[in-house]
């Protein structure tokens, strides 16, 4: 074994046999994380498993998404999460302690560990040499219960970094460069492993920015080696004993190698409405901007906020720009407060928000109608910012600072000499992380009125005759299927209520039609279900009666979520068949269970009098889970 990825996988494989790329594998999970938008459902699912205490080395529940408390819903969920964590042996990071990925990188991630998180940006921890994978909440609940995580063995792609970044160019520009090259589905079925002499020029927070946005490539994970930079970072966190060296033995056995010369990368920007719509900032020079926000799990580290503070020190944000800062963790917030950088940001005109996901998930700071909003975030899907007709752009902290000063797209290299980020002692304080009691059996779980039971689960039917409820195009995101935002996110623990919003930004009549037709099929194009790990994009359609989703290809996490909830994921054997189906057509499937087992399903289009084949591309265990009606039904049936 040569790569860091393979070394970690071999140590965590349940099977004795070394897998080939594409084989279904089972791996042991050392650590799990949840966040509140996905966590309430994950813990309801864990409760349904009937296991008295988590079995992982470490499990954490973070509150960082649903922070706006405009009524009782979010506050009730916070108390549920706190009490359920205490009962089942989970650490609880309180509201205000920070964004899960930033805090986990700081305080818990470790080289060589496996981490499974109910958030697609869990691979952030790959910046420290952890094999970190995003998944649906049910997969995380199962891992907390001691079950292995099922996935297809990924291809290990080496990304060789050479050279050193120019002044005012940063890690965000590196990952945007890769997105320009590979596009949003370029990493599907792959782990991107970084190596080469350029790696040592990047700090752990910079590496974490790159691994964080590997999710936008559709990658299973992204990972850096654990080296002296890693040791130094862990030392600043008082965790040097967690360090161990991890590096690839050779580059000769990577399935593919991509080379990037860091010295040639220029400031980049992702244009609306996809993270791969990348051009150079200089190509947009002078275009007007209305809002600038620095933060998110991608770019809210001490390093990121300091470069912005230093760029703005003694200056004022342009009067035409609304400028906001979100520190990624309380550690970062308190550190910049103590060293004076926070005062510099406030003096420059920044609005300081709490340490949370906030605007990145549509929780506040929606721009005005028709606005151009520039963000250091990881996604710019249409409407995700909270304003449907706004144009959202993704940039580095350096570029954000330059734009904030000028109110137009500005190449940050025009700001002059790059300021040196001062070395300072980080404020390490874990008092807002609550350790669970050794015995939580007597803890009473607090359940607010917004927490509803899980939907009824049934084994897959052998015959289905239903209408096509909706036909979509390529690159449909989970934001399309199950929107985020301040109005909808508080309903994450209430499936009947949140199901009223399935696909409403695509077709406002979809929920009503699905109920009137007593469910049916969804047809999609390439890369269906990309983006967030939110399993609600499977559970809510299930509640509305969706039986199967038939597409040209799936994004990894969403496909797994469909299986976990007993919705049949099918792919056209011949992509041309997609063009011969229309919304409203009635499709008939017979002998579906046998077709799932064999991997091929025959479908009749009753409306058009035609037939075509679909593929059910799953491993044997995943097929058994699907046939049982999903993972909860499977777990109950197998004891």
Positions annotated as catalytic residues are 64-65, 119, 379, 532, 534
End-to-end alpha-carbon separation of the chain, Å? 35
Q: Measured between alpha carbons, how far is 410 from 617 in angstroms, rounded to an integer?
A: 47
CA atoms within 13 A on the CB side of 548: 30
The Cβ of residue 555 has, within 10 Å, a number of other Cβ atoms equal to: 25
The Cβ of residue 597 has, within 10 Å, a number of other Cβ atoms equal to: 16
Q: Measured between alpha carbons, how far is 188 from 526 in angstroms, rounded to an integer?
A: 12
46: helix, strand or coil: helix
Q: Which residues pair with 569 in a beta bridge?
A: 549
Q: Nearest-5° angle of CA 260, CA 263, CA 269?
A: 75
Contacts of 544 (CB under 8 A, 6+ apart): 499, 502, 511, 514, 515, 519
Q: Measured between alpha carbons, how far is 456 from 543 in angstroms, rounded to an integer?
A: 8
Q: Measured between alpha carbons, how far is 429 from 451 in angstroms, rounded to an integer?
A: 32
**Helices in 458-555 by DSSP H: which ranges?**
478-481, 495-498, 510-516, 536-543
Residue that has been written with the tokens 């927490």 in this structure: 451
The Cβ of residue 464 has, within 10 Å, a number of other Cβ atoms equal to: 18
Residue 88: in which H helix or E strand, if any? helix 72-88
Contacts of 239 (CB under 8 A, 6+ apart): 107, 110
């Amino acid at each position: 074994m040569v790569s860091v990825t393979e070394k970690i996988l071999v140590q965590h494989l349940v099977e004795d046999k070394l897998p080939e790329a594409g084989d279904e594998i089972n791996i042991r999970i050392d650590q799990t994380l949840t966040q509140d938008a996905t966590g309430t459902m994950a813990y309801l699912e864990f409760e349904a498993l009937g296991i008295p205490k988590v079995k992982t080395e470490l499990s954490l529940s973070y509150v960082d998404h649903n922070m706006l408390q405009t009524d009782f819903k979010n506050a009730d969920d916070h108390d549920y999460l706190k009490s359920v964590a205490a009962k089942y042996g989970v650490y609880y990071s309180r509201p205000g302690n920070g964004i899960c990925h930033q805090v986990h990188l700081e305080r818990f991630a470790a080289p060589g560990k496996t981490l499974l998180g109910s958030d697609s940006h869990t691979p952030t921890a790959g910046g420290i040499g952890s094999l970190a994978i995003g998944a649906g909440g049910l997969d995380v609940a199962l891992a907390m219960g001691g079950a292995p995580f099922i996935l297809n063995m990924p291809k290990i792609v080496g990304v060789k970094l050479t050279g050193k970044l120019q002044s005012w160019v940063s890690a965000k520009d590196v990952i945007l460069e890769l997105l320009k090259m590979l596009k949003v589905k370029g990493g599907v079925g792959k782990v991107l492993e970084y190596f080469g002499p350029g790696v040592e020029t990047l700090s752990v927070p910079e590496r974490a920015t790159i691994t964080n946005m590997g999710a936008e490539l559709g990658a299973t994970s992204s990972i850096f080696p654990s080296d002296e930079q890693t040791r130094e970072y862990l030392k600043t966190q008082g965790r040097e004993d967690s360090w161990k060296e991890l590096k690839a033995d050779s580059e000769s056995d990577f399935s593919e190698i991509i080379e990037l010369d860091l010295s040639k990368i220029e400031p980049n920007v992702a244009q609306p409405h996809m993270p791969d719509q990348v051009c150079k900032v200089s190509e947009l020079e002078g275009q007007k901007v209305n809002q600038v926000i620095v933060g998110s799990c991608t770019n809210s580290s001490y390093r990121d906020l300091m470069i912005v503070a230093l760029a703005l020190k003694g200056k004022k944000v342009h009067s035409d720009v609304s400028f906001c800062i979100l520190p990624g963790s309380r550690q970062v917030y308190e550190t910049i407060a103590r060293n004076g950088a926070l005062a510099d940001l406030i003096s420059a005109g920044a609005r300081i928000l709490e340490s949370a996901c906030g605007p990145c998930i549509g929780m506040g700071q929606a721009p005005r109608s028709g606005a151009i909003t520039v963000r250091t975030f990881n996604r710019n899907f249409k409407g995700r910012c909270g304003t449907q007709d706004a144009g959202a752009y993704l940039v580095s902290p350096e570029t954000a600072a330059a734009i904030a000063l000028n109110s137009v797209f500005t190449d940050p290299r025009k700001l002059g000499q790059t300021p040196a980020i001062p070395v300072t002692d980080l404020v390490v304080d874990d008092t807002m992380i609550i350790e669970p009691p050794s015995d939580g059996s007597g803890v009473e779980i607090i359940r607010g009125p917004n927490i509803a039971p899980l939907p009824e689960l049934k084994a897959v039917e052998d015959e289905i005759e239903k209408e096509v409820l909706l036909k979509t195009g390529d690159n449909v995101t989970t934001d399309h299927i199950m929107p985020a935002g301040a109005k909808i996110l508080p309903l994450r623990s209430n499936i009947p209520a949140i199901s009223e919003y399935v696909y409403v930004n695509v077709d406002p009549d979809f929920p009503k039609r699905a109920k009137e037709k007593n469910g049916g099929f969804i047809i999609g194009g390439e890369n269906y279900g990309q983006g967030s790990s939110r399993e609600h994009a499977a559970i809510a359609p299930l509640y509305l009666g969706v039986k199967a989703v038939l597409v040209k290809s799936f994004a990894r996490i969403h496909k797994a979520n469909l299986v976990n909830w007993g919705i049949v994921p099918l792919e056209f054997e011949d992509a041309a068949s997609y063009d011969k189906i229309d919304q409203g057509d009635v499709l008939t499937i017979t002998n579906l269970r046998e077709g799932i087992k064999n991997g091929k399903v025959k479908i009749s289009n009753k409306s058009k009098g035609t037939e075509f084949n679909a593929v059910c591309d799953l491993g044997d265990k995943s097929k058994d889970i699907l046939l049982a009606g999903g993972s909860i039904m499977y777990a109950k049936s197998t004891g």
